[in-house]
Structure 1
Amino acid sequence: MPNFRLFRSTPFRLALTFAFLFVLAFIVSGGIVYRLMSLDLADRLDESIRETYSVVAATYGANDLDDLIATVDSHSKISTKKEQLYSLTGSNGKHLAGNFIATALPEGFSIVSTQTPEVTSDARYRAYSGSIGGNNLTIAFSLSETEELETIVLMSFGWGTLIVTGLAVIGGALLASRVQRRLDGIAATMVDVSHGRLSARIPLTGNGDDIDVVSSQVNAALDRLSALVDGMKQVSANIAHDLKTPLNRLQMILGTAIAKAELGQTVTDELAEARAEGLEINETFDALLRIAQIEAGARKARFSDLDLNSVVDAIVEVYADVAEDDGKSLSA
C-alpha cells in the first residue's frame, strides 16, 4: 500500500517527469555525439583513402605502367587480411594488378561489396576510383573497423541509457519518498489538529527549504490558533465566574420569595430584586454578544465617526476636580 501511494504521489510523478526529461536529453545528446563521431570517422577514412591513392598514383610515369603495377601489387601483398583492396585495370577492362577486380565503379567515392573468395560476402568497403593514363585505379578500405567501433559506441550508449534510466528512476523514487514522508508528516499533524490535539506541530528538518518554510508558517498559525483557543477557554471561565455571583444572588432572592409566599407574606420586594438581577445578567450577555459581533465584524456597519476631542474634554471636566482635591492637576 505505501508503494502504491508513492506511485500516485505528486513528488514521484515529478521525479518521473524529471527522469524522463533527463533520459531524453541524454539520448538526444548521445545521438548527436554518435552522429558527429560517425561523420568524423567517415571523413578520416576518406582522407586516408585519398592519401593512399595519391601515393600510389604518384608512381605512374608517362606511358610507363611498370612502377604503378609494382606499387599496386606490393600494397596488395601487404594487406594480407584484406583490410585494403587495390585494383588496376586497363582501358580495355583487363585486370593489371591488385587483390580484387573493380568493375563498373564510378569515379570518386562509393561503397562496394567484394566478390573476393578470401573476404566474406558481407564485407563492405569504402572505395575511391580514378583514371590514371587511361587506366582505372581503385583503392578500397574496409569499413569493418569503423562499423565495429560504431557498434561498440552504440552498444555502450545503449547500456549507458539503461543505466542512466535505472539510476534516474531509482534516484527519483528515493527523493520522492523522502519528500512524501515529509508531506505525510504534515498530513498527520493536520489530522491531529482536526481531532483536537492542538499541541501537535509539523517536524522540521532544519535545512531551510521551501517545505520547511511552509511548515514553519503552519506551525506559527497553529501556535496562534492554540493561543486563541486558550484565550477562549479563559474567557469562558471568566464569564462563568462573572455570572455565578448574580445567579447565586438570584437563587437566594427566589428562595426567600418562596419562603415568604408559603407564610402568606408579600414578595413584591424580592420580585423586584430578582428582576434587577435578571436584567444585570441579560446586560452581561448582551455585552458578550456585542464583543463577539465586533470581533467578527458583524457590527462594523453600525459604526460612526467620533470626535475624540469632545470625549477627552468630557473626561477632563469630570475628573479635573477630583485631581485638584488630591493636590494634582489634570489637563488635555
Structure 2
Amino acid sequence: MSASFGARSIRRAASRCCSAFAASGSCSVIRARLLRAGTFRLSLIFAGLYLLSGLALFAVITWRTTRFETARISAFIVTEADSIAQGSPEEVTWAVRTQFSHRPRGIYHNTILSALFAADGRLIAGNLGVVPGDLPADGEAHAIVRPVVSGAADDDAIIAVARRLPDGRLLVLGRGVGVLVSLEKIIAGALIFGAIPVIALALGTGFWISRRVQRRVRGVTQAIERVMQGAVHERLPVAGDADDLDQVSAGVNRMLAAIERLLGEVQGISNDIAHDLRNPLARVRTMLERGRNKAATTEEMGAILDRAIAGLDHAQSIITALLRIGEIESGRRRAGFQVVDLTAVAELAAELYAPLAEENRIGFTFAADDGASIPVFGDRELLTEAVVNLLDNAIKYTPPGGEVRLEVAVTAAGPVVRVVDNGPGIPAQERANVLTRFYRLEKSRGIKGNGLGLSIVLAIIELHGFGISLADARPGCVFEIRCRTPAGVALHPGARSTTVPGPAGRTGTLLEAGV
C-alpha cells in the first residue's frame, strides 16, 4: 500500500512539475512574443518618450522657477537694504537688532540673515558671525557660500547683499533660498505622480493591443498555412475594423480569389484540352490502325493519312490558340502600343473576309465614315486579329443567304467597331459564357472550330483596356468593341448618313459619321 501510494505521489509531483514547467515555458513564449510585437514596442517607445519629455519639462520648469525666485529674492533684499540704509545710525542698529532679525520666516525664505558690522569688522548686531569673504560690499545681491548663521538650516543656500553705510559700518542682509529645493521636490513629485499612471496605462494598452493583434495575426497565419496546404478556398479573417491588418487581409483575400479563379481556369483548361485533344488523337490512332490493318491500296492509305493529318491539325490549332492567348495575356505587347487608325484596321479585316463571305453566299457590308481616320491607341496587328476573329465567327455561323455587317463609328462614348449578323444568334442565358475558353453552343458542335476564337478577342480587348459587349440583333447577334481615343484627341460624333460600297460589292448604311 505504501509503495503504491509513493508511486502515485511521484506521478502527481512529476505532473505538477511538468505543468509548472509548461506554464513557465508558455509564459516565456508569450513574453518573447510580446517583446517582439510591434504594438508593444511602440508602447514602450511611447513610455520612454513620455519619460524623456517629463525630464525635459522638469528641467525647464526648475530653471524658470529658480530664475524667477532668485530674481524676486534679490530684488527684495536689495530694496530692504536701501530702506534700512536711509535711517539714522541708531535706526539702522535698532532695525537689525530688533525688527529685521525677528521677522517671521515666510514660504519664500527659510533663513533670514541680517548683521551690522563696525568698520573694523566687529559684529555690532545680527546673526552672522563674520563678514563673508566672497560677498562684495557693492549693494548688489550675490549668491554666497553658506556662512555660519545661528538658526540656519544646513541645506540653506544664501543670497545676500552688503552695503557700506556713510558712517563706515557694513550692513549685510540675506535670505535663504532653500525653498527652491522644496519647489524642485514638489515639481518632481508631481511629474512622477503623473508619469506612473500614464506609463502604466501605456504599457497596459500596449499589452492589450498586442495580445489582440497577436490573436488576429495567429488567425491570419493559420489561414495562410491552410492555403499553403492546398485549401485555396480559404480566406484570411477580417475583423471588420477597417484597420491596417483588415486592409492587408482584404487585399490578400482578393489575391486568393484571383488565384482560385485562375487555378479553376487552369484546371478547366486542362480538362478541356484533355477532352478536346483526346478525341482527335483517338480518331487519328484509330484511323492509322485501320489503315495498317485494312488499307489494301496506296490510295486508301493516302486517304486515311489525310484524315489523320486533319485531326492532328485540329489538335495543333487548339495548342496554338492557347499559346496565343497566353502571349496576349502576358502584356508584353503593350510596350509596342502606338496610335492606330481604327478605320484602316476594319478595312483590312473587311478585305480579308469579303471573299470568304462571298464564297459562302453570305452578303457582306462594310460601313464607315468616308475614309475618315479614327485614331486609337493600341497594337495594329492585335486589333486586326480581334476584328478578323469576330468576322470569322459571324460568317461561320450565318447560313447561306444571310447578312454580315462590319461597322466603324464614333459615338458619344468613343469609337466603336460592330460586327452584326442575322444568323441563329446566341440565347440570352448563354451570352455570358461565349467569351470563355472552349465554350461552344450545343447547336454549333458540328461546325468546325475549337472554341477559342472569342477568347482570343477578349484577351486582346482586355489588353487594350477596351470593352466588348454582345447584344441581340433580332435575328442574329451584335458584337461591339468599345475603344478609347488617345489623350488629347477629340472626336465629334455626327448623324450624317453615309453609304459606302462593301468589299464584296454590296452597300450598307451607317448612321454614324465624323464632323
TM range (shorter): 0.7 to 0.9
Return closer, same or farther for 1:147/1:247 CA change in 2, 3 Å cut-off: same
2:254 corresponding residue in structure 1: 220
* Deviates most, 264-273 or 181-190: 264-273
Deviation at 1:85, TM superposition (A): 2.5
Deviations 1:253-307 (A, max 9, x none): 577678x57xx98894767655654554454444434444454468999xxx995
Q: Is the 8 A contact 1:34 1:154 kept in 2?
A: no
Cα distance in 2 for partners of 1:90, 1:46 equals 24
Match of 1:39 among 57, 67, 74: 67
SS at match of 2:171: strand
Alignment of 1:198 with 2:225, yes or no, is: no
Q: Is the 8 A contact 2:164 2:170 kept in 1?
A: yes
Alignment of 1:326 with 2:351, yes or no, is: no
Q: Is the 8 A contact 1:85 1:100 kept in 2?
A: yes
Cα distance in 2 for partners of 1:141, 1:12 equals 51
1:316 corresponding residue in structure 2: 354
Q: Is the 8 A contact 1:19 1:172 kept in 2?
A: no
2:79 corresponding residue in structure 1: 51
- RMSD of the TM alignment (CA)? 4.0
Q: Is the 8 A contact 2:163 2:170 kept in 1?
A: yes
Deviation at 1:242, TM superposition (A): 1.8
Cα distance in 2 for partners of 1:326, 1:52 equals 126
Q: Is the 8 A contact 1:86 1:139 kept in 2?
A: yes
* Deviates most, 217-226 or 201-210: 201-210
Deviation at 1:148, TM superposition (A): 1.8
Give the residue type in structure 1 aligned to 2:100.
H
1:98 corresponding residue in structure 2: 126
Deviations 1:146-195 (A, max 9, x none): 32222232344355555555544444444455455555554444433333
Return closer, same or farther for 1:135/1:196 CA change in 2, 3 Å cut-off: same
Between structures 1 and 2, the one with greater strand share: 2
Between structures 1 and 2, the one with greater helix share: 1
Query: Gaps (5+ residues) in structure 1?
Result: none
What are the residue-to-residue correspondences of 1:121-160 with 2, within 5 Å?
121-133=154-166, 134-158=168-192, 160=194
Deviations 1:195-233 (A, max 9, x none): 322223333344444444343333222222222122222
Return closer, same or farther for 1:193/1:244 CA change in 2, 3 Å cut-off: same
Cα distance in 2 for partners of 1:120, 1:329 equals 114
Match of 1:24 among 52, 57, 60: 52
1:237 corresponding residue in structure 2: 271
Identity of aligned residues (%): 26
- Relative to the length of structure 2, the TM-score reads 0.52
What are the residue-to-residue correspondences of 1:270-309 with 2, within 5 Å?
277-296=311-330, 308-309=346-347
SS at match of 2:230: coil
Q: Is the 8 A contact 1:114 1:124 kept in 2?
A: no
Q: Is the 8 A contact 1:114 1:123 kept in 2?
A: no
Deviations 1:312-331 (A, max 9, x none): 12323432542386375755
What are the residue-to-residue correspondences of 1:82-93 with 2, within 5 Å?
83-93=111-121
* Deviates most, 43-52 or 264-273: 264-273
SS at match of 2:148: coil
Return closer, same or farther for 1:40/1:299 CA change in 2, 3 Å cut-off: closer
Q: Larger RCO: Structure 1 or Structure 2 (Cα < 8 Å, ≥ 6 residues apart)? A: 1
Query: Gaps (5+ residues) in structure 2?
Result: 1-28, 365-399, 406-506, 509-515
Cα distance in 1 for partners of 2:105, 2:267 equals 102
- Relative to the length of structure 1, the TM-score reads 0.76
Q: Is the 8 A contact 1:19 1:168 kept in 2?
A: yes
1:77 corresponding residue in structure 2: 102
Return closer, same or farther for 1:169/1:229 CA change in 2, 3 Å cut-off: same
Return closer, same or farther for 1:323/1:279 CA change in 2, 3 Å cut-off: closer
In the alignment of these two chains, the number of paired residues is 324
Q: Is the 8 A contact 1:88 1:97 kept in 2?
A: yes
Q: Is the 8 A contact 2:111 2:156 kept in 1?
A: no
Give the residue type in structure 1 aligned to 2:99.
S
Give the residue type in structure 2 aligned to 1:98.
G
